[in-house]
Amino acid sequence: MSHNPTDTFEIKKAATSKIDSVDFENLPFGSIFTDHMMYCDYKDGQWGTPVIEPYAPIPMDPSSRVFHYGQAIFEGMKAYKDEQDEIWLFRPDQNFIRFNKSATRLAMPEVPEPVFMEGLKQLINIDKDWVKKGKGNSLYLRPFMIATGHGVIASPSAQYRFMIIMSPAKSYYQGEVKVLIAEHYSRAANGGIGAAKAAGNYSAQFYPTRLANEQGYQQVIWTDDATHTKLEEAGTMNVFFKINDTLYTAPTSERILDGVTRKSILELAKRDNIKLEVRSVLVAELLEAAKDGSLKEIFGAGTAAVINPIIGFAYQDNYYELPKQENPIALEIKDKLTNIQHKLAEDTFGWTVKI
Amino acid sequence: MSHNPTDTFEIKKAATSKIDSVDFENLPFGSIFTDHMMYCDYKDGQWGTPVIEPYAPIPMDPSSRVFHYGQAIFEGMKAYKDEQDEIWLFRPDQNFIRFNKSATRLAMPEVPEPVFMEGLKQLINIDKDWVKKGKGNSLYLRPFMIATGHGVIASPSAQYRFMIIMSPAKSYYQGEVKVLIAEHYSRAANGGIGAAKAAGNYSAQFYPTRLANEQGYQQVIWTDDATHTKLEEAGTMNVFFKINDTLYTAPTSERILDGVTRKSILELAKRDNIKLEVRSVLVAELLEAAKDGSLKEIFGAGTAAVINPIIGFAYQDNYYELPKQENPIALEIKDKLTNIQHKLAEDTFGWTVKI
């Protein structure tokens, strides 16, 4: 009988918890981690026994491929605790599918579903006290995979580590966000890895974003790299535009991430008869709409912030401030989504999954 | 008086050397490392004391930014030992300059020249027995920098580690290389990080290269991502084409790496009256030249292989084999370059620097 290495988890519990030292009312995003971490190593063509052990540094050979050739992918997810102390995930199947799509694009092995899903469940259960009740509270989950094989040869690694770490989070509010529309820099190429949640996509954005910051803009709205005429993403989020009474967002492509929040908004809009068109919005259209007053809202959509309203944008040295809305669709959608996530509204979609 | 942290290196020598266990006649590229490594940490806005210590795994927090957001850059260099046991570097200034250009593009701090240059010299001196005499032998040097700051927040790290590791190398021969011209995939975007030696650029190439491998091609010739009509790089190397009696290579750009071997070939061609034009070669031109017999040679140029001759290419399901040349320019250039590197020919350029 062959041994299935994912049948059992090897669990080493921490002797003490650091939870009492954490101020859950003042949580810097993504900086404090729970007592445990989960990992599973891939070598000789197969996955080993998943391990849960106390959160701690991991020893890495200096020639590990991730340091030199960037084979690294991740997912961002959240767990929520309802008033009955049940813990819920939001569409984890979508993250799992996307994770393995990213893996394939980066020439990394797919992670077996039990390693990913049971890994999440077992780790959350062990650190369940870190998930706090109340809207706005969540436990941010970070599954990721790195190339751990040794050698400075530019070819795919033969060894990998899949890991999950978790960080308690308050609702993520970035303040009033102004964005700069990219005229020169870009985040993704046709035939590139822009659709993957690959580490390399993010580091490419830091320098242009820093330049935007220095001009007073918190984020960049990325445009297509060939013509810089199509609006594609806002920072690390998918972007939506409300022109007159219709929402617009770009179709997914090799340059655009297939965001879980983005696709949930699409389904929500369909259910609730919110007018929404999936098509590229041109920079020229946005300028026209800003000038004639038909541009009502812009917002980013992603797991960390859920919805991130944008108050204005700059393009070619002109700044366009959006009109203040009485009942912005951005907040309506955010409320609907977070109510489903926190089990405060009926989940007619079957998106929430109990741990 | 302020303390300059790069005045002194902290050196901890290995108790024993593993050099006697290494078969220097059979060295897999980039897999065996010398006894020591060098590192220098950046935090609180400044570089600390450079350290040389025995090569060993380094502890990394699982939330280290390099794992999640891909802030990682590197250089590839070589050291050569001449017949008088002197050790030489080849144009290290060029690698240093490019390293800091990559750092800037990835929103990482520049590495001070003494940390980079003295780091190389001191580390090579300590492990000088690992540099073997004789043409074809070299010590491959790998300076790199990774983001070591903690936290799953998509913004530049506040902490970094600069490192140098070294691997003894024999001349790098890939066998007869056939390449596939990319029609869909690409390695770089306009306004992206293709010109930087960034880890993320490499992982993006692995999957398309694997697909090419499965069709019997060892490498991909990358084309521009917008139109796929311009020939840009071959695998991880700059690419040259000889049509009639003229060499062609693409100009450097945001999509193309400013290779040290590439620029040395340009200078060599000028000195020795080899006809060379720096301009984009179109796929259509290449096909035409292959058909009418004016296409004589294709080769890649980079530090690891120096010159890598290509014997044929495929495009849209057609394979074009190049004619065998009596005295290929690729080998002539390779000889000239490697003779300068190994101090077997006069270095009229001042490229070689004694350790």
Which CATH number fits the domain that encloses residue B318? Answer: 3.20.10.10
- Does residue A355 belong to any structural domain of this protein? no
Q: What is the CATH number of the domain that holds B137?
A: 3.30.470.10
How far lies A332's CA from each of A188, A274, A336, B173, in Å?
A: 31, 11, 6, 62
- Residue B297 pLDDT: 97
Q: Do A206 and B155 touch (CB under 8 A)?
A: yes
- Strand, helix or coil for residue B311: strand
User: Could you tell me the residue range of the domain that residue B30 belongs to?
Assistant: 10-169
User: B221 and B144 in one domain?
Assistant: no
Instruction: With a threshold of 0.85, tell me whether the complex ipTM lies above it.
Output: yes
Predicted confidence at residue B174, as pLDDT, reads 72
Distance to chain A for B249, nearest Cα, Å: 22
From chain A, the residues in CB contact with B205 under 8 A are: 154
Residue A291 and residue A189 share a domain: yes
Is residue B79 assigned to a domain? yes
Provide the 10 A C-beta neighbour count for residue A320: 17
CA distance B313 to B206: 19
Who contacts B85 (Cβ-Cβ below 8 Å, separation ≥6)? Answer: B133
Structural domain includes residue B145: yes
- Report the C-alpha gap between A291 and A229 in whole angstroms: 17
d(CA A7, CA A115): 9
CA distance A348 to chain B (A): 32
Structure confidence at residue B99 (pLDDT) = 98
Q: Is B214 on the interface with A (CB under 8 A)?
A: no
Residues in B closer than 8 angstroms to A74, CB to CB, are 67-68, 152
B220, B327: one domain: yes
Structural domain includes residue A4 = no
Q: Is the minimum CB–CB distance between B71 and chain A shorter than 8 Å?
A: yes
**Interface mutation vs chain A, best among B38, B77, B165, B206, most A CBs within 10 Å:** B206
Query: Tens digit of pLDDT for each residue in A207-238?
Result: 999 999 999 999 999 999 999 999 999 999 99
Q: Among A168, A166, A169, A171, which residue's Cα sits nearest to residue A136?
A: A171
Last residue of a domain, one of B169, B201, B231: B169
**Each residue's pLDDT expressed in tens, for chain B with a length of 355 residues:** 344 444 689 999 999 999 999 999 999 999 999 999 999 999 999 999 999 999 999 999 999 999 999 999 999 999 999 999 999 999 999 999 999 999 999 999 999 999 999 999 999 999 999 999 998 899 999 999 999 999 999 999 999 999 999 999 998 777 789 999 999 999 998 999 999 999 999 999 999 999 999 999 999 999 999 999 999 999 999 999 999 999 999 999 999 999 999 999 999 999 999 999 999 999 999 999 999 999 999 999 999 889 999 999 999 999 999 999 999 999 999 999 999 999 999 999 999 999 9
pLDDT in tens, chain A (355 residues): 344 444 689 999 999 999 999 999 999 999 999 999 999 999 999 999 999 999 999 999 999 999 999 999 999 999 999 999 999 999 999 999 999 999 999 999 999 999 999 999 999 999 999 999 998 899 999 999 999 999 999 999 999 999 999 999 998 777 789 999 999 999 999 999 999 999 999 999 999 999 999 999 999 999 999 999 999 999 999 999 999 999 999 999 999 999 999 999 999 999 999 999 999 999 999 999 999 999 999 999 999 889 999 999 999 999 999 999 999 999 999 999 999 999 999 999 999 999 9
Q: Are residues B153 and B198 both part of a single domain? A: no
For residues B211 and B329, membership in a common domain is answered with: yes
Chain B interface includes A116 (CB < 8 A): no
CB contact under 8 A, A199 and B69: yes
Are the beta carbons of B37 and B163 closer than 8 angstroms? yes
Tell me, yes or no, whether A188 and A333 share the same domain: yes
Co-location of B55 and B190 in the same domain: no
Closest A-chain CA to B185: A191
A155 touches chain B (CB under 8 A): yes
Q: Do B72 and A74 touch (CB under 8 A)?
A: no
- Could you give the CA distance from residue B246 to residue A231 in angstroms, rounded to a whole number? 42
DSSP string, A312-339: EEEETTEEEEPPPPSS-HHHHHHHHHHH
Residue B63 at interface with chain A, using a CB cutoff of 8 Å:
yes
Same domain for B202 and B62: no
Residue where a domain terminates, one of A115, A150, A169: A169
Residue in A31, A146, A203 closest to B69 by CB: A203
Looking at the complex, does the CB of residue B154 fall below 8 Å from at least one CB of chain A?
A: yes
A positions 182-211 inside 8 Å of B (CB): 182, 184-193, 198-210
Which pLDDT score is estimated for A53?
Answer: 98
Query: What number of H helices and E strands is found in chain B?
Result: 7, 21
My answer on whether B73 and B97 are in the same domain is: yes
- B57 contact A CB<8A: yes
Closest listed residue to residue B49, CA positions, set B132, B119, B104? B119
Query: Residue A7: what pLDDT?
Result: 64
Q: Is A256 on the interface with B (CB under 8 A)?
A: no
Task: Work out the burial of residue B53: count CB atoms within 10 Å of its CB; fewer than 13 is exposed, 13-18 middle, 19 or more buried.
Answer: middle
Residues A203 and A278 in one domain: yes
Q: State the sign of the Cα–Cα–Cα–Cα dihedral B209, B214, B218, B222.
A: negative
Residue at A78 is within a domain: yes
Q: If you search the block for the tokens 């998943």, which residue do you land on? A: A50
Compute and round to an integer the Cα radius of gyration of chain B. 21
Last residue of a domain, one of B169, B186, B205: B169
Contact B68/A204, CB-based, under 8 Å?
Answer: no
Which residues on B lie below 8 Å from A30 (Cβ)? 63, 151-153
Give residue for tokens 């059979």: B26
Of B57, B74, B207, the CB nearest to A104: B207
The closest CB to that of B70, out of A33, A155, A202, belongs to A202
Q: Annotate A61-75 with b (16+ C-beta within 10 A) or e (fewer).
A: bbbbbbbbbbbbbbb
CA torsion, ordered A53, A57, A58, A59, to nearest 10 deg: -140
Residue B4 counted as domain residue: no
Q: How many CB pairs under 8 A join A and B?
A: 238
- Note whether residue A114 is domain-resident: yes
Tokens of A36: 């445990």
Chain CA centroid to CA B239, Å: 13
Q: Distance between CA atoms of A272 and B299, rounded to whole angstroms?
A: 59
Q: Tell me: do A83 and A193 sit in the same domain.
A: no
Q: Which residue has the tokens 């770089």?
A: B188
CB contact under 8 A, B188 and A193: no
Q: Which residues of B touch A100 (CB under 8 A)?
A: none
Look at residues B202, B196, B330, B198 and name the one whose alpha carbon lies nearest to residue B269: B330
Contacts of B60 in chain A (CB under 8 A): 57-60
**Cβ A68–B186 below 8 Å, yes or no?**
no
A128 belongs to a structural domain: yes
Residue that has been written with the tokens 């070299």 in this structure = B138
Domain co-membership, B238 together with B121: no
Give the burial class of A214: count Cβ atoms within 10 A of its Cβ; 0-12 exposed, 13-18 middle, 19 or more buried: exposed
Number of domain units in chain A: 2
What's the CA gap between B224 and A191, in Å, rounded?
10
- Cβ of B153 and A30 within 8 Å? yes
Indicate the pairing of strand B352-354 with strand A295-302.
unpaired
Helix and strand element counts for chain A (H, E): 7, 21
